[in-house]
Amino acid sequence: MDTFLTFALTGVVLFSLGLQEVLARPGVLRMLIAVNVMGSGTLLFFVSLAHRHADGPDPVPHALALTGIVVTLAATAAGLALARGLHRLRAEGSGGRVEGGRVEGGRSQGAGYERGRSESGRDEQGRADR
C-alpha cells in the first residue's frame, strides 16, 4: 500500500471513530476530544493529498490544514471555556451568572481568562481568513 493511501485511509478511520464517539454523546469533554479526533482525521486526509503533485509536495493542502488547525483550536478553546463555565454554574447550585470572570456570590476568578482566550482564538481565525 502506498503512502498516500495509508495516510488517507487513516484520516478516514480517525474521522469515523471521532464521529461515532460524538454520536454516542458521552459527555462534554469526551465529545470535544472526539471532535478533535475527527478534525485530525480530516486534516490528515488533506495533508495526504499533497503527495499527488508531480514536482514535489503540493503546498496548498498544507496551508489549508494549518488554517483548519487554527479554526479547530479556536473552537476547542471556546468549547472548553463554555464547559468550564457550565461546570462552575452546576457546582454553584442553580441559576447563577458568570459575569466578566466572576461568579456572583462565588469565589472563582478564572472564567475571564478563559473568555479572553476564546475570543483571541476568534481573532486569530479572522486573520487566517484575510
Partner 1 sequence: MSAAVAWLIWLPLAAAVASFVAGAGRARRALGLAASVVMLLPALLVFEAVRRDGPQRYLVGWPAPLGIELRADLLSAALVLLTACVGLLVAAYASASLTDPPSQHAVDPPAAFWSLWLLLSAGLNALYLSTDLFNLYVALEMVTLSAIGLVSIPGTRATIGAALVYLLATLVGSLAFLFGVALLYGAHGTLELYELGRLLEGGPLAWSAMGLMTLGIMVKAAFFPLHFWLPDAHGHALPAVSALLSGLVVKGGFYLLVRVWFDAFPNVLLPSFGLALGLLALVGIVWASLHAVSEGRLKRLLAYSTVAQLGLMLLTVPLAIAGPGGGVGASITPGVEPGLALALSHGLAKAALFLSAGAFIHAAGSDALSELGGVARRLPLALLAFALAAWTLLGLPPSGGYEAKALFEQAAAVGPIPWQLVVQGGTLLTALYLGVALRAAFEPAAARKRLRAVPLALQIPPLLLAALAVGLGLLPLASGAP
Binding site for partner 1 (CB under 8 A): 8, 15, 19, 22, 28, 31-32, 35, 38-39, 41-42, 45-46, 49, 52, 58, 60-61, 64, 67-68, 71-72, 74-75, 78-79, 82-83, 85-86, 89-90, 94-100, 104, 115, 118-119, 121-123, 125-126, 128-130
**Residues recorded for the chain:** 130
Q: How far is the CB of 53 from partner 1 (least distance, A)?
A: 9
Counting beta carbons within 10 angstroms of the beta carbon of residue 102, is it exposed (0 to 12), middle (13 to 18) or buried (19 or more)?
A: middle
- Which residue, 58 or 110, has its beta carbon nearer to partner 1? 58
Q: How far is the CB of 29 from partner 1 (least distance, A)?
A: 11
Cα atoms in the 13 Å half-sphere on the side-chain side of 110: 11
Q: How far is the CB of 69 from partner 1 (least distance, A)?
A: 11
- Which residue, 109 or 123, has its beta carbon nearer to partner 1? 123
Q: How far is the CB of 38 from partner 1 (least distance, A)?
A: 5
Q: Which residues pair with 99 in a beta bridge?
A: 102
- Which residue, 83 or 110, has its beta carbon nearer to partner 1? 83
Under 8 Å between Cβ of 73 and 33:
no
Amino acid symbol at 35: V
Can you tell me the distance from the alpha carbon of 89 to that of 86, in angstroms, rounded to the nearest whole number? 5
Alpha-helix residue ranges (DSSP H) falling in the chain? 3-23, 28-49, 59-92, 111-129
